Amino acid sequence: MADVTIISGSTLGSAEYVAEHVAGILEQQGFTPHILHGAELAELSPEGLWLLVTSTHGAGELPENLQPLLEALTAQAPSLAEVTYGAIGIGSSEYDTFCGAIDTLDRQLTTLGAKRIGEVLKIDITQHEIPEDPAEAWVAEWIMQIKAHR
């Protein structure tokens, strides 16, 4: 089918687990997933299909392992017009900045010309003890949208 670059950002590991889980589903559906836990801009192709999976840290911030990526995207402002992507955020609705990290990345990617496929999934850990469950349902829908988009 297609390569999918999965970019995960995590402080305690939840986003990494979700990224690995959805990678397995994508592989079963004929995609070739490449997982980067804490990607840097130089590692990413400026075209193709990306899937962002990140938790939110502190006051709506990205995890430390994704900060360099956001800084590089902001400073270098590369054209991402050939990138399509999906976005999964993990956080707690007990905070005002619920899923703030994925909102920040989503805004930055669209500013640089990337096109999001589907809605951003925001997983509330107060409602979903196992974040892989809502991610599994979302990725099944995302796969159908990718196929319709191509």
**What CATH number is attached to the domain comprising 63?**
3.40.50.360
Tens-place pLDDT, residues 73-106: 999 999 999 999 999 999 988 888 899 999 999 9
What DSSP assignment string belongs to 62-129? PPGGGHHHHHHHHHH----TEEEEEEEEEE-TTSTTTTHHHHHHHHHHHHTT-EE-SPPEEEETTT-S
Enter the pTM of the model.
0.95
Total structural domains within the chain: 1
Confidence at 52, pLDDT banded by 50, 70, 90 = very high
Mean pLDDT, residues 24-44? 94
Give the whole-angstrom CA distance, residue 63 versus residue 129.
Answer: 20
Model confidence at 109: pLDDT above 90: yes
Q: Tokens for 6, please give them.
A: 């999965």
Mean pLDDT, residues 6-26? 93
Return the pLDDT at 133: 94
Amino acid type, 72: A
Domain, as residue range, for 39: 3-149
